[in-house]
Amino acid sequence: MGWEAIQGGTGLTDKEVKFLRWRVDSVTEWYSTPTCYTEGGLCQKQLDITVYKLPDSVSISYRKYPDPMVEGHQYLLQCLVQNIAPIGRLRVTFYKVSTTGEQTELDTQQKSKDTIKTPENGTYTLDFTPGRDDDRAQLLCSAMLDLGPEGPQPPPVMDSNRLNINVHYKPQITRSPGCFSMSTTEGDTLSLACSANVDYLPIFAGLAAAVVVILLVISCFTYSSYYKHRRMSH
């Protein structure tokens, strides 16, 4: 009996055996398929090998708007896992860490299992809407390979560059006739545009009254002049 393989291959044993182990110190060939064979090429059995590789790096970022985030707006978080295998056994989890250190799991994702076993990059996304309580919190993601019951579970690889959140608040504005009130946070920069509605009805009424008075004065003056002229002529 013997093993035919790129790594760890052995020739036929000198004597008959019932068991022959295949041993390697490390695996560097991703498509290694050791085959057990016997004298005469009978009873060939191929060993299916899955090679696990922890990621080189895990990073988180977000797209849509530049810093800072705005309260109530939606942002697309992106977790990039580089050079990992097999990606079908990868679990990615998004976390939020508050200013007090409390860690909240936002979502866990895993791609469907496939036959790709060589290292590749994985991109995972999550929609995130910050609230007022998220100011100065942190976002991060972790990558964990599921080895199943065959071996010990490696610790998750966490994102070493956490994403700091700076949330801008929307000011609360209450309008009432002739004035408005606003509540905001210290340090915020605001740009306000105000307009006033003028009631022109009293102005028009006053002008009309003035015109009537002027007409009455003119009428009285005209009548008085005409009356004096008539008396003098008589």
Same domain? For 39 and 79 the reply is no
Same domain? For 32 and 74 the reply is no
Residue 124 half-sphere exposure, CB side, CA atoms within 13 Å? 25
Determine the pLDDT at residue 169. 67
Same domain? For 40 and 108 the reply is no
Type of residue numbered 102:
E
Domain contains 177: no
Same domain? For 94 and 131 the reply is yes
**Region at 229 (left for phi over 0; alpha for psi -120 to 50; beta for the rest):** alpha
Same domain? For 64 and 145 the reply is yes
Domain contains 198: no
Same domain? For 88 and 107 the reply is yes
Read off the tokens for 57. Answer: 């790096």
Same domain? For 41 and 110 the reply is no
Same domain? For 71 and 158 the reply is yes
Same domain? For 84 and 148 the reply is yes
Last residue of a domain, one of 141, 168, 195: 168
Same domain? For 136 and 83 the reply is yes
CATH number, residue 161: 2.60.40.10
Determine the pLDDT at residue 212. 76
Same domain? For 150 and 74 the reply is yes
Report the number of distinct structural domains present in the chain: 2
**Blockwise average pLDDT, block size 10, the chain, 234 residues:** 82 81 81 80 73 88 73 90 88 92 92 75 92 89 81 70 76 57 54 59 73 79 68 57
Last residue of a domain, one of 113, 140, 168: 168
Determine the pLDDT at residue 171. 62
Determine the pLDDT at residue 43. 65
Domain contains 148: yes
Determine the pLDDT at residue 178. 55
Domain contains 2: yes
Determine the pLDDT at residue 152. 66
Residue 55 to residues 25, 75, 81, 93, 94: CA-CA distances in angstroms?
A: 21, 25, 6, 14, 16
Residue 132 DSSP class: G
Whole-number Å distance between alpha carbons of 234 and 229: 9
Residue 74 half-sphere exposure, CB side, CA atoms within 13 Å? 4
**Cβ atoms 62, 163 nearer than 8 A:** yes
Domain containing 31: what range?
A: 1-49
Find, among 164, 124, 120, the residue nearest to 142 by Cα: 124
